[in-house]
Amino acid sequence: MIDYDAFLSQAAARMQESAIRKMGTVLAQVEDVISFAPGYPAPEMFPWQQFQEIARALLQGDEGRVLQYGPTRGYGPLLEAILELQAARGVGGRLDELLVTTGSQQGLDLVARVLLDPGDVALVELPSYTGAITAFRNAQARLAGVHQQADGIDLDDLDAVLGRERAAGRRVRFLYVVPNFQNPTGLLIAREKRRALLEWADRRDVLIVEDDPYGDLYFEDSASPADTRPIKADDGAGRVIYLSSFSKTLAPGFRVGWIAAPAALASKFEVAKQASDLCSGGFDQRVVLESIKRGVLAAQVPRLRAHYQHKRDVMIAGLRAELGALVSWPDPRGGFFLWATLPGGVDAEGMLARAVSRRVIYVAGSAFFVDGGGSSLVRLSFSAPTPERIAEGVRRFALTVREELDAQTH
Amino acid sequence: MIDYDAFLSQAAARMQESAIRKMGTVLAQVEDVISFAPGYPAPEMFPWQQFQEIARALLQGDEGRVLQYGPTRGYGPLLEAILELQAARGVGGRLDELLVTTGSQQGLDLVARVLLDPGDVALVELPSYTGAITAFRNAQARLAGVHQQADGIDLDDLDAVLGRERAAGRRVRFLYVVPNFQNPTGLLIAREKRRALLEWADRRDVLIVEDDPYGDLYFEDSASPADTRPIKADDGAGRVIYLSSFSKTLAPGFRVGWIAAPAALASKFEVAKQASDLCSGGFDQRVVLESIKRGVLAAQVPRLRAHYQHKRDVMIAGLRAELGALVSWPDPRGGFFLWATLPGGVDAEGMLARAVSRRVIYVAGSAFFVDGGGSSLVRLSFSAPTPERIAEGVRRFALTVREELDAQTH
């Protein structure tokens, strides 16, 4: 027998499967589970017919480059179109600051590889997105957690954590934030805090990695474009690396995201991407471009806002009706996620087996905490299930919580 | 001004743009260049109409998962189909040994990340594929070069290099080879050498990374399936990590490759891929699966063999007619590449500016050598240009060589 462990890199020896992906595996084994676990967009909202027409046009065979290898930076006309999209969000920029990625996850991976040496510090929120956590961990970085408040990251704690890490002789490379409808909490970082973050980054000489997959998906009853204006929009100094994606607004099956960053960093991301996958899919990129040019994306976004807002409403109404004051949460003002606190003493991870037996599933909050916290929290995604399934899933979830509470007291 | 260099990881500080990709950039700036540089498949051979039909069927909207996030391992039915394809090449295997990758380049990157720590040794041929070289370098590995013979890697030199590296106290993780129609030389590793490599790997306790994008594309006048039988086919001990791809047989615009490896390593590649891009494109994977199921791939491969064989013939005839004995090369028995030695004293990199002015382009051999060698060699790809363009490109190339020789002697 070959001892394969002896061949592993230090990073690989430590690599662990993502909690959310693990959920997916559990899920696949149980019939008729209602899943609030993965942050999947609603497939019934994908613009199928338009994609079909676009695919037919692209695959006529009159333009060989559609299916050829393409530039590592991305397909030129798509890059131009992304510049315009960004401008609508208030983000200026030039072509040499832009890079198409194979989904936003590749963006996070490139950030990790280009900016992190083993032992370097990445500041993340408590809680933070698991995909970022694993990408940064794979670079063997040290992840230092910063507390949150209702209006986003706690600036005092941020500066205290930075000070502590530096006092210990460590290099702090960047702060990672998801300012719009954060995964997993759904929180928005307040406008004045965004400005304060930029000033802080400049004062402390760190970079900001701003991950913005959900910004377009604000709910019109409680948020506005002004609330979701990216930090990058006011980044005169070049402190911000901005990541976004078409996975939530068009479809994740086409793997297209992007990075906007100072040109000196963008060129490093490009070289790192060369070795990672040469180029993102030529067909996928052209489907996205055509969706922009034909107005499919522009028509899609308001539909999605209303769609996910309605699903949020169904989930909140169900939780109120079924669990009353037993669980609490900040009302999501956009995005895919509701972040709920379980009644005292209930452990979200421990409750999971019971939830599966009740055929409902969620992600236990601890997956999102780099400091071991979050045991009484759950992330409930309302994006993918139909409203009927959300209502039924919440009933099953409520039953699970009540049974768990009963089991504790008896 | 922010000093971005101060934020770079050690790997990023050393990252360099690939020579082949750089060629692409030069190429894009010059009009009517005939390019023998990139190893692109012939776009006129892509099965456009079948892809169009497949896309229409996939995008009907009756199956939401087509455009949803999917399993990191790959789409289950595609994995099953790949097992069958491999079996036809003599390679056995189970599902837990298999992983879909976003092109074969991602496979190389995952290999690097899972197996290489900074300073670890990867053995590569002199010359070797640049995409592998950059992926391994990004992991800060030491690349030790092994000489080639006409029938592939030099086994004596291989063992000598291994011995030298180990004597210096370094860990040698694997040997990287492209046994079928190697990029850049077009060489085949002889059958008995393949068996000897397996015995050697077992005896010396190293792994073999076998990269096989071109195996199906043998030329029927001079090679057979028996000649291209993968090393992995006889790998009873579990020494071989096998990489392959649909980029050369279907189209690279759909980014689909795969890795077959011992289960313990495959699961590490999976976790590394999670953080790299979550999953390969759901649409792309299904296009490939449908191309297999509908017989498109099976019909395609013999057509491609004949097509590329003809293009090779055109290139060889042109080189003989135009340059006679001035340049020499081993006749390619498959694949995309002709590896030519320039007349004494001509430097391939130095000649490039003249070639561009004559509107023809190639990759200078030095790009493929980790030891600084290869200055008088060029890689000429005959895969993408039409036969007419190949003939004209060879005329321009011959003119370039003759002018360069003249300039030297005067």
pLDDT in tens, A351-408: 999 999 999 999 999 999 999 999 999 999 999 999 999 999 999 999 999 999 999 8
Q: Residues of B with CB below 8 A from A284's CB?
A: 281, 283-284
B241-264 b/e with 16+ CB inside 10 Å = b? bbbbbbbbbbbbbbbbbbbbbbeb
- pLDDT band at residue B344, thresholds of 50, 70 and 90? confident
* Residue of A79, A121, A243, A271 best to disrupt the B interface, most CBs of B under 10 A: A271
Do residue A265 and residue B4 have CB atoms under 8 angstroms apart? yes
Q: What does DSSP say about strands A142-149 and A152-153: parallel, antiparallel, or unpaired? A: antiparallel
User: Which of A207, A237, A272 is closest, CB to CB, to B15?
Assistant: A272
pLDDT in tens, B76-119: 999 999 999 999 999 999 999 999 999 999 999 999 999 999 99
The whole-angstrom separation of Cα B268 and Cα A217 is 35
Structure letter (DSSP) for residue B332: P
- Please enumerate in sequence order all residues whose Cβ is within 8 A of that of B106, keeping only pairs 6 or more positions apart, or say none: A276, A277, B255, B257, B273, B276, B277, B280
Strand partners, A346: none
Above 80 in pLDDT, residue A20?
no
Q: How far is B407 from chain A (nearest CA, A)?
A: 35
Helix (H) or strand (E) holding B355: helix B352-357
Radius of gyration of chain B (CA): 21
Is the CB of residue B221 less than 8 Å from the CB of residue B180?
no
| CB proximity A288 to B under 8 Å | no
pTM (two decimals): 0.96
Structure letter (DSSP) for residue A270: H
- pLDDT band at residue A333, thresholds of 50, 70 and 90? very high
User: Which of A67, A174, A279 is closest, CB to CB, to B43?
Assistant: A67
| CB proximity B66 to A under 8 Å | yes
Q: How far is A391 from chain B (nearest CA, A)?
A: 21
User: Which of B2, B11, B253 is closest, CB to CB, to A238?
Assistant: B2
pLDDT in tens, A309-326: 999 999 999 999 999 999
What ipTM score was computed for the predicted complex, to two decimals?
0.96
Q: How far is B164 from chain A (nearest CA, A)?
A: 19
The whole-angstrom separation of Cα B402 and Cα A347 is 78
The whole-angstrom separation of Cα A325 and Cα A335 is 24
Do residue B44 and residue A67 have CB atoms under 8 angstroms apart? no
Note the helical H segments in A189-244: 191-204
Structure letter (DSSP) for residue B70: -
Q: What does DSSP say about strands A377-381 and A363-364: parallel, antiparallel, or unpaired? A: antiparallel
**The Cα angle at residue B288 between residues B90 and A255, in degrees rounded to 5:** 125
pLDDT in tens, A276-294: 999 999 999 999 999 999 9
User: Which of B137, B275, B281 is closest, CB to CB, to A253?
Assistant: B281
Tell me which residue of A332, A66, A174, A363 sits closest to B253, measured CA to CA: A66
The whole-angstrom separation of Cα B86 and Cα A94 is 45
User: Which of A10, A272, A279 is closest, CB to CB, to B138?
Assistant: A272
Q: What does DSSP say about strands A172-177 and A121-126: parallel, antiparallel, or unpaired? A: parallel
As a whole number, mean pLDDT of residues A237-248 equals 97
Q: How far is A296 from chain B (nearest CA, A)?
A: 15
| CB proximity A18 to B under 8 Å | yes
Half-sphere exposure of A232 (CA within 13 A, CB side): 29
The whole-angstrom separation of Cα B410 and Cα B402 is 12
Q: Residues of A with CB below 8 A from B270's CB?
A: 17
Above 80 in pLDDT, residue B279?
yes
| CB proximity A44 to B under 8 Å | yes
- Which pLDDT does position B69 carry in this prediction? 96
User: Which of B66, B102, B174 is closest, CB to CB, to A253?
Assistant: B66
The amino acid that residue B374 corresponds to is: G
B199-218 b/e with 16+ CB inside 10 Å = b? ebbbeeebbbbbbbbbbbbb
Q: CA torsion A367→B67→B247→B256, rounded to 10°?
A: 30
Do residue B131 and residue A277 have CB atoms under 8 angstroms apart? no
Q: Is the dihedral of CA A395, A399, A400, A402 positive or negative?
A: positive
The amino acid that residue B158 corresponds to is: L
Instruction: Show the tokens assigned to B303.
Output: 């057509």
User: Which of B52, B112, B247 is closest, CB to CB, to A59?
Assistant: B52
- pLDDT band at residue B409, thresholds of 50, 70 and 90? confident
Classify B13 as helix, strand or coil.
helix
The whole-angstrom separation of Cα B175 and Cα B294 is 37
> How many residues are present in chain B?
410
Is the CB of residue A211 less than 8 Å from the CB of residue A132?
yes
Above 70 in pLDDT, residue B132?
yes
Q: How far is B258 from chain A (nearest CA, A)?
A: 13
As a whole number, mean pLDDT of residues B137-157 equals 97
| CB proximity A10 to B under 8 Å | yes
Helix (H) or strand (E) holding A273: helix A263-277
| CB proximity B90 to A under 8 Å | no
Q: How far is A373 from chain B (nearest CA, A)?
A: 22
| CB proximity B12 to A under 8 Å | yes
- Please state, as a whole number, how many other Cβ atoms lie within 10 Å of the Cβ of residue B54: 23
Query: What percent of chain B is modeled with pLDDT above 90?
Result: 94
The whole-angstrom separation of Cα A237 and Cα A410 is 60
As a whole number, mean pLDDT of residues B303-314 equals 98
Average pLDDT, chain A: 95
**The Cα angle at residue A37 between residues A31 and A42, in degrees rounded to 5:** 90
The reply to whether omega before B184 is within 30° of 0 (cis) is yes
Tell me which residue of A124, A153, A154 sits closest to A141, measured CA to CA: A124
Residue B17 to residues B135, B158, B347, Cα–Cα distance (Å): 11, 28, 21
Above 90 in pLDDT, residue A228?
yes
Classify B175 as helix, strand or coil.
strand
pLDDT in tens, B25-64: 666 667 789 999 999 999 999 999 999 999 999 999 999 9
- Please enumerate in sequence order all residues whose Cβ is within 8 A of that of A74, keeping only pairs 6 or more positions apart, or say none: A98, A99, A100, A258, A279, A280, A285
- pLDDT band at residue A410, thresholds of 50, 70 and 90? confident
| CB proximity B114 to A under 8 Å | yes
As a whole number, mean pLDDT of residues A70-89 equals 97
Q: Residues of B with CB below 8 A from A262's CB?
A: 2, 4
The whole-angstrom separation of Cα B10 and Cα B289 is 40
As a whole number, mean pLDDT of residues A46-51 equals 98
Do residue B67 and residue A272 have CB atoms under 8 angstroms apart? no
Above 70 in pLDDT, residue B24?
no
Q: CA torsion A66→A72→A77→A83, rounded to 10°?
A: 150
Residue entry with tokens 């003809």: B310
| CB proximity B67 to A under 8 Å | yes
| CB proximity A223 to B under 8 Å | no
- Which pLDDT does position A101 carry in this prediction? 98
Instruction: Show the tokens assigned to B393.
Output: 């490109």
pLDDT in tens, B299-308: 999 999 999 9
As a whole number, mean pLDDT of residues A149-169 equals 98
| CB proximity A29 to B under 8 Å | no
- Which pLDDT does position A16 carry in this prediction? 73
The whole-angstrom separation of Cα A19 and Cα A24 is 9
Tell me which residue of B136, B122, B176, B153 sits closest to B18, measured CA to CA: B136
- Which pLDDT does position B325 carry in this prediction? 93
Do residue B46 and residue A61 have CB atoms under 8 angstroms apart? yes
Nearest residue in A to B241, CA atom: A4
Q: Is the dihedral of CA A350, A356, A359, A365 positive or negative?
A: positive
Residue entry with tokens 């229409």: B56
Instruction: Show the tokens assigned to A64.
Output: 């060989």
User: Which of B17, B21, B115 is closest, CB to CB, to A8?
Assistant: B115
| CB proximity B387 to A under 8 Å | no
Is the CB of residue A401 less than 8 Å from the CB of residue A342?
yes
Nearest residue in B to A101, CA atom: B277
User: Which of B51, B109, B272 is closest, CB to CB, to A12?
Assistant: B272
Backbone angles phi, psi at A74, to 5 degrees: 120, 165
Do residue A52 and residue B56 have CB atoms under 8 angstroms apart? yes
**The Cα angle at residue B108 between residues B102 and B110, in degrees rounded to 5:** 75
Q: How far is B410 from chain A (nearest CA, A)?
A: 40
**For chains A and B, what is the number of CB pairs under 8 angstroms?**
254
| CB proximity A16 to B under 8 Å | yes
User: Which of A16, A108, A274 is closest, CB to CB, to B134?
Assistant: A274
The whole-angstrom separation of Cα B153 and Cα B145 is 10
Do residue B277 and residue A239 have CB atoms under 8 angstroms apart? no
pLDDT in tens, B203-229: 999 999 999 999 999 999 999 999 999
